[in-house]
């Protein structure tokens, strides 16, 4: 075995209550190129390790106050990367087995030979190095897997967003609607103190809330006049269509799914599709309902300009208790006062920033 480089040589800690034995062991290991420290007791060894961890602890078993197994247990718990080699009496086979069971890398029986000490210590350090490399490799692999999973998730969300954008491209006057509903919902959620995961799901659900309109006939979707009862029923199928479409994809995002299904519920129970009332409507859906309606009111249509912001806010307040949740409307008003999102310019008829369509 070649001698380790003095600078990078592993640091060994020798623990024995007999000074002559410590000196012998130290000389053997230093001749092998290791850097060494020594301690006369378990307590002193722990103090030395606290100051500077070691790659290897070579400890006697029979010591007053703290025996070798107790020290072994402490080292395994506090310095799991440190290899421990136990020195035991020749008749202590059971004890040696007990040491291995408690995590000792190896043991040496007294009286020992110089080459035996060198061999066992060298093997223990090599084994330790392999274990460290193994752990580092596993952690690296786990990080790579997580990175890949995040990349897939981002790609998946981008695909869903493209689907929502494709829907808006069919109707240029709603271009940007889902993005704005996402912004408004996010601002309300922050005002209400929702946690980060629910906020992220709410934003996703808001961006995708009308995706079910893909299943609505275009003639009905873009009709400029009043809808017939049949047409209204048809268009109001979009929350359930969207929910069915996204359910297999968003199994891990129930709050996002709730927004898609329940954003047309009303707090008085007269909404669709389930006729839920009050707190039975998921909070995320009550938030999205406010955001959705505000954007619908302030957006221009081909046949009318959007409503002024103050008028739209007055309408939201008027519909508290029937259509909207009071806390959600109040939170939206606070977010608006705090300029948490850009105010819509209702004098401008959309589309204002429609991208050119690629044939
Ligand atoms: Fe909708």
Helix (H, G, I), strand (E, B) or coil at 294: helix
Task: DSSP letter for 281, please.
Answer: S
**Is residue 63 very low, low, confident or very high in pLDDT (cuts 50, 70, 90)?**
confident
Q: What band does 350 get if pLDDT is binned at 50, 70 and 90?
A: very low
Q: What is the mean pLDDT of residues 112-124?
A: 88
Average pLDDT score, the chain: 87
Across the range 228-250, mean pLDDT stands at 92
Structure confidence at residue 280 (pLDDT): 97
Residue 87 in tokens: 């020195």
Say what percent of the chain tops pLDDT 90: 52
Q: Average of pLDDT values for 195-214? A: 92
Contact (CB, 8 A) for 343 and 298:
no
**What's the pLDDT at 160?**
78
pLDDT at 43 > cutoff 80 = yes
Whole-number Å distance, alpha carbon 152 to ligand 1 midpoint, is 28
Is 243 strand, coil or helix? helix
> Is 141 exposed, middle or buried, given 0-12, 13-18 or 19+ CB atoms closer than 10 A?
exposed
**95 confidence band (pLDDT: 50, 70, 90):** confident
**How far apart are the C-alpha atoms of 216 and 238, rounded to whole Å?**
7
Note the CATH architecture for domain 171-337. Orthogonal Bundle (1.10)
Residue 91 scores a pLDDT above 90: no
Residue 353, pLDDT score? 41
Would you state the pLDDT for residue 358?
Answer: 34
- In the residue annotation, 213 being an active-site residue is answered as yes
Q: What is the pLDDT of residues 147-172, one digit of tens each?
A: 888 888 788 778 877 877 777 776 66
Tell whether the model's pLDDT for residue 255 goes beyond 90: yes
pLDDT at 342 over 80: yes
SS3 92: coil
Q: Reading across the β-sheet that carries 56-60, which strands appear in turn?
A: 35-39, 11-15, 56-60, 83-89, 106-110
Least confident of 183-187, 194-198, 346-350: 346-350
**Above 80 in pLDDT, residue 8?**
no
Domain spanning 11-139, CATH class: alpha beta
- Compute, in angstroms, the gap from residue 178 CA to the centroid of ligand 1: 10
Distance (angstroms) between ligand 1 centre and the Cα of 173 equals: 15
Distance (angstroms) between ligand 1 centre and the Cα of 209 equals: 6
3-state helix, strand, coil in the chain (%, to 5): 60, 10, 35
Structure tokens at 40: 């006369």
pLDDT in tens, 277-296: 999 999 999 999 999 999 99
CA of 263 to the centre of ligand 1 (A): 6
User: What's residue 169's pLDDT?
Assistant: 72
Cα–ligand 1 centroid distance for 296 (angstroms): 10
Say what the pLDDT of residue 260 is: 97
pTM over 0.85: no
Contact 291, 332 (CB under 8 A): yes
Is residue 57 reached through a cis peptide bond, with omega within 30 degrees of 0 on the bond before it?
A: no
What is the pLDDT, as a whole number, of residue 302?
Answer: 65
**Greater model confidence, 261 or 176:** 261
Helices 326-337 and 177-192, axial angle in degrees (round to 10) = 100
Radius of gyration, CA atoms only, the chain:
35
Going by their DSSP bridges, the two strands 83-89 and 35-39 should be labelled as unpaired
Tell how far the Cα of 153 is from the centroid of ligand 1, in angstroms. Answer: 25
Is the distance from CB of 298 to CB of 180 less than 8 angstroms?
A: no
Q: Please report, for the chain, the start and end positions of each structural domain, with discontinuous segments joined by +.
A: 11-139, 171-337
Catalytic-role residue among 127, 170, 213, 223: 213
């Amino acid at each position: 075995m070649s001698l380790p480089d003095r600078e990078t040589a592993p640091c060994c800690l020798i623990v024995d209550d007999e000074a002559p034995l410590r000196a012998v062991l130290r000389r053997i290991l230093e001749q092998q190129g290791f850097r060494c420290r020594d301690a006369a007791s378990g307590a002193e060894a722990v103090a030395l390790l606290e100051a500077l961890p070691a790659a290897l602890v070579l400890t006697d078993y029979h010591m007053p106050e703290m025996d070798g197994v107790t020290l072994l247990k402490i080292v395994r718990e506090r310095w799991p990367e440190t290899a421990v080699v136990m020195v035991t009496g020749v008749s202590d086979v059971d004890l040696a087995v007990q040491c291995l069971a408690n995590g000792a890398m190896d043991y040496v029986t007294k009286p020992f030979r110089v080459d035996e000490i060198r061999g066992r210590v060298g093997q223990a350090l090599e084994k330790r190095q392999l274990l460290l490399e193994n752990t580092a490799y596993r952690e690296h692999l786990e990080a790579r897997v997580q990175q890949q999973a995040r990349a897939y998730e981002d790609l998946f969300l981008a695909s869903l967003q493209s689907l929502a954008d494709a829907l808006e491209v069919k109707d240029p006057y709603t271009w940007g609607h889902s993005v704005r509903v996402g912004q408004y919902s996010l601002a309300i959620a922050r005002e209400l103190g929702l946690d980060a995961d629910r906020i992220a799901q709410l934003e996703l659900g808001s961006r995708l809330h009308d995706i079910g309109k893909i299943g609505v006939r275009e003639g009905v979707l873009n009709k400029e006049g009043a809808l017939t009862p049949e047409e209204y029923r048809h268009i109001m199928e979009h929350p359930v269509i969207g929910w069915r479409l996204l359910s297999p994809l968003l199994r891990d995002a129930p709050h996002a799914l709730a927004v898609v299904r329940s954003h047309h519920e009303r707090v008085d129970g007269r909404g669709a599709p389930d006729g839920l009332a009050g707190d039975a409507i998921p909070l995320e859906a009550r938030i999205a309902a406010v955001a959705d309606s505000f954007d619908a009111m302030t957006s221009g249509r081909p046949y009318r300009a959007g409503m002024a912001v103050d008028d739209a806010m007055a309408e939201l307040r008027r519909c508290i208790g029937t259509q909207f949740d009071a806390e959600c409307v109040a939170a939206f008003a606070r977010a608006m006062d705090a300029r948490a999102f850009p105010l819509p310019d209702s004098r401008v008829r959309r589309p204002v920033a429609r991208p050119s369509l690629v044939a």
